[in-house]
Structure 1
């Protein structure tokens, strides 16, 4: 029996105005300062964040205002721009091919929100929510699907957290080409890989604060970009090995549910939390775990909950055996924060030894997934 279980929730929030979205996120959003940079907690920083949002995502401005009006904290509006948040990192492997997007999301079980959301802000969108209204992966009613992975380089600059960018692309674009046109102009705060799929094209691009958007050789991604990661980081994350494995396997769900693509390093923030198989032309996604699956469609979404065991049979307590060392060891020493007994994060949980970019308070990361779960 796996030592980890996680409950995933599926909720429907409509256009966000009827209180269902606010009820889900309100307790975490009561203390948004835990996610904001030092500058983001100032009036000047808040104004800059809103200006950046209005410049690059004007179509979503009415939605942001509608959501923010339902929250008590005056800093919640700034947090919703996701233009001044502390950096955070995750694992993941993904591939797009012939109208299908398949991905593993790897992270710490307690710090992934685990909420599948059906929304109609500007159009019908379905995906795995993160950071209030961002998305880790998702699709829209036009047949476009997108997902993200961390790009493996520990740099941070001005720009947006990628979950909101994925939301924006799905709300405003119908095709991969449209999404690429918009993505090319949006500043991204940390290195990320984005895989995009529609009925006619599959593509992965590398983005980040220090590089122009760059198309990858194929529609696959793990946790590096155009250059290999340092040897110690490769030993920990096995990003090159995973990329080679997903290329060899293709769009194959069983391959994603076994090593090396399925990872059990949950204590190292590198365990596979779910496999998502999107068929956007059908408006259909299936979330997979070993021995378990949960399917949703845009046209026939059904709210509910599902509790699953994480890990593979026979793992026992050897939770980190597929990883050679803690994820923190892969972070350059100059970017690590001091290790300690944990740090309070929004939502009232405690974060332990997380992957980090540190040095000053502004750069210290916030762990994703610390948003509240519905009371059940």
Structure 2
């Protein structure tokens, strides 16, 4: 399977974002209505949720809604309030050295991935992020030196809350430190179980274990895979090897000869790298974020994209995903 990643530079959402929305909206619309319109919240509910929990994002949300055509359905989708459930894999780790680094693998189905790396400045903060759902982000870095990424938390519970990509986007848009981000995570509900790991330029890091049925648990731990403390969904845990990946990363952090560069390269091999694309858990990309330098690297076995907050170039990069059943 051939897949194309694209780097896009647009400080304020405009024609480029609008073109992306026009291209991606049919697929997102189908996904958003997959459980029927009656299963989605009203526009008023979505807007009230943003006003209550993510108020500083409201002007940007209104701009995106207008660029998206101003329809009621698109506005509901762009809020990411109580969207349809979705499940991913993913591994992430903070390298807490003299130069802190956040490294993550995003494991998902290629056909449901956007592949858009956007440098923006929507709210006065330069951000490089892997776009998701048009208004959200899977991971990214901002000019204050905060890097953030997410994983699925390995629980089947669904409830009142936001899709976590818009929470990640909010952190990147408005937070400068791990402490500030932690306060946002404490008060913002997530509609599914997700783990958000972040690190700032001073090396302060945390992982927030979010669930809709209980308060967030925020700990100074550098590793997160697809469970929250103990395993609850055992079939998913076995299928994604979440415990094996967590142990693998913990052992690498304890290795006195390990370096950030070697740790990043380890993400390109099992057990962190997976080719289970036919099951929706194949590795789509490895992201490496350097908060002090303002640098983002995206790695694949056959190539790399390097982006800088102050020196960003638009380009495309083709990746071939080879399923496990056909891998040599």
Normalised by the size of structure 1, how large is the TM-score? 0.79
Structure 2 counterpart of 1:338:
none
RMSD over aligned Cα, in angstroms? 1.9
The alpha carbon displacement at 1:204 in A equals 1.1
For residue 24 of structure 2, what is the aligned residue in structure 1? 28
Secondary structure of 1:278's aligned partner: strand
Give structure 2 stretches of 5+ with no counterpart: 254-259
- CA positional deviation for 1:28: 3.3
Task: Decide which moves more: 291-300 or 158-167.
Answer: 291-300
Range with bigger deviation, 28-37 or 133-142 = 28-37
* Paired position in structure 2 for 1:190: 192
CA apart distance, 1:103: 0.3
Report if aligned partners of 2:156, 2:233 keep a CA contact under 8 Å in 1: no
SS where residue 184 of structure 1 aligns? helix
CA change 1:189–1:51 in 2 (3 A) is same
Deviates more, 1:185-194 or 1:242-251: 242-251
1:228-307 pair list within 5 angstroms: 228-250=231-253, 251=260, 252-307=263-318
Answer yes or no: is the 8 Å Cα contact 1:160–1:189 preserved in 2: yes
Query: For residue 344 of structure 1, what is the aligned residue in structure 2?
Result: none
Aligned match of 1:105: 106
2-structure distance, mates of 1:173, 1:78: 25
Q: CA deviation at 1:20?
A: 1.2
Q: Distance in 1 between matches of 2:218 and 2:55?
A: 26
Q: Give the alignment partner of residue 153 of structure 1, picking from 155, 169, 172.
A: 155
User: Counterparts of 1:134 and 1:302 in 2: how far apart (Å)?
Assistant: 21
Deviation digits for residues 162-190 of structure 1 (CA, Å, limit 9, x no counterpart) = 00000001111100000001110001100
Q: Are the equivalent residues in 2 in contact too, given 1:40–1:78 (CA < 8 A)?
A: no
Q: Indicate the residue corresponding to 1:343 in structure 2.
A: none
Structure 2 CA distance for aligned equivalents of residues 234 and 159 of structure 1: 24
User: Which residue in 2 is equivalent to 1:214?
Assistant: 217
Call closer, same or farther: CA 1:232–1:175 in 2, change over 3 Å. Answer: same
The answer as to whether partners of 1:33 and 1:75 remain within 8 angstroms in 2 is no
Contact 1:6 1:308 in 2 (8 A): yes
Give CA-to-partner distance per residue, 1:91-120, whole Å, 9 cap, x none: 000001222100001111111111101111
TM-score (normalizing by structure 2)? 0.90
**1:34 Cα deviation (Å)?**
4.0
Q: 2:47 matched to 1:46? A: no
Q: Secondary structure at the match of 1:281?
A: coil
Higher helix share: 2
Unaligned runs of 5+ in 1: 320-376
1:318–1:15: structure 2 CA closer, same or farther, 3 Å change rule? Answer: same
Say if 2:154 and 2:237, in contact at 8 Å, map to a contact too: no
Within a 5 Å distance, the mapping from 1:112-151 to structure 2 comes to 112-122=113-123, 123-151=125-153
CA drift of 1:217 comes to 5.9
Distance in 2 between residues matched to 1:69 and 1:87, nearest whole Å:
26
